[in-house]
Structure 1
């Protein structure tokens, strides 16, 4: 199979879909890999490294798109670029189609693209391997960046997240006890922060307590408890996710009134719309904004700031699926691998994800019948 790696042009996206060792495994298996010129440079992987792995360097994105059947990218292309893909191509990436514009989504169907969302690939046990890998990195980065946002120079109230002798630590509240929230809690407790975690799922809260150095306080995420937690938090981390769907809004603007001035909200659910009513996407050129005296940080795609580490983690997660598609072809791969089936949004002009079809008002076709 002809496989392409393109340079992502989304602002502040520094990763590439596969490392050179993964490309080498594909070429050894008899596949041809085309890599856009300098696509891996920002993640620390040179053209020469890909050449040594057996890839061919293409001098433009258009050349990659023209020569390949299977495209691997990180961020979704702009909706205006959808028509550049060849009809019937397979495109694997972080599509987040639940928050895509309707016109763009219908273009994907018209182009008969097969779109695989790495963020919704899920195995039979309910594990989302790619999302979990990126969430582990995002959870650690959230604590590192959040500790900086508490400082005066970044608009915060001048607190140390881990305190000091005679000085109590800052209060970090985490809404969502999934992989991201759990990793953030573990990492923050290791630094000495005061951590409280909320979730609707008591079993998820038990998993958080088992994974932290000591049993962090937990609360069931009712509206009343969220309001209480907002009142005592210095740093409030939104880490809520619903696979393949828009994140529910759990923090309203009215609820911000209970927060102390210059407290910080980090909405890491922003990739899927955000769980705070006042959230809107930002980037690292201007990462924060203020609403009602509360600092908001809503930068999506946080793992890209550690691009080399994230590319390696991403490759570890997606490579088995890439190789299976390359070796078997897409139709056979999804028959044999239910995780790939769950991770597919569209195929041959049909929407194969039921919740997405309802959202956009199009017909739903189960993948095996698409």
Structure 2
């Protein structure tokens, strides 16, 4: 399908260069561009019944159109991020390929937005579904599962945010970046603690979209102490902030392997908490010890949350995968020497099936 992009700005030369670029680039298969130098001209065009699939406009012109285009995805083209106050902003003066990439991503998220009732994974963070992936031991494939779940959700059209709350964040190795070179979780946490009223704008400006993961994320803590001193209240505030943007159907939390107050806070705010383990007796033993401690530490609160917890056995094979663990995940031999995101079709299929079970509420309960 070819979509129509309405560009509304006073700089006619800019619009001509943008239209010429689209016409002569691969984006011509997806987009046609119609330019307007005033909000009135765009309004008259829409009133005539022409279909507009995305509006990109200068902030002051976008404000004039906001009531008319309430049902049309819109992006503010700004000189500096944060200047418009709009939820969606793109820099006006950047390379045209990057601008079109950003416009295409915003449009894809908008048309992929499902009805709230269809997500079935609604959690307790302002109605946004929260799925936390945790474990009681390291090396069980927790981050691999979290990243694949984020991809599976994004592929299904769910607007997804991947939030890594590990003490030692290795997700960037999978994502193909070192996670440095920009502001990230440390700065976001500061915004929340020091001036919560501006934290939402900070998040909108600094979040990143990973095209392979099909999810948004924020770069890792650049100050390790900020993560080591992260409190359960901080984690709850992060979830609330992301949910309050009203841009996400699913927040996929990559948790840690400790049974502490942080895990309790995440469990309280999650629709599901997936506990990852393997058939290794040592791993199983650690999981059982952690569960016994949780029952002793949190008592009735833990028992009341039991239905949220699901056991996911990773690195299964043969009869174990087919019979004993119908929701198990296969062993991926090539990951023994390193991981490449989404490199195993079998693992992707198993994770997608697991997500489908979660969305349908059919995943087996922990016993």
Same fold flag (TM > 0.5):
no
Which is greater in Rg? 2
**TM-score of the two chains, using structure 1 as the length reference:** 0.34
**TM-score of the two chains, using structure 2 as the length reference:** 0.34
Which structure shows the higher helix fraction?
2
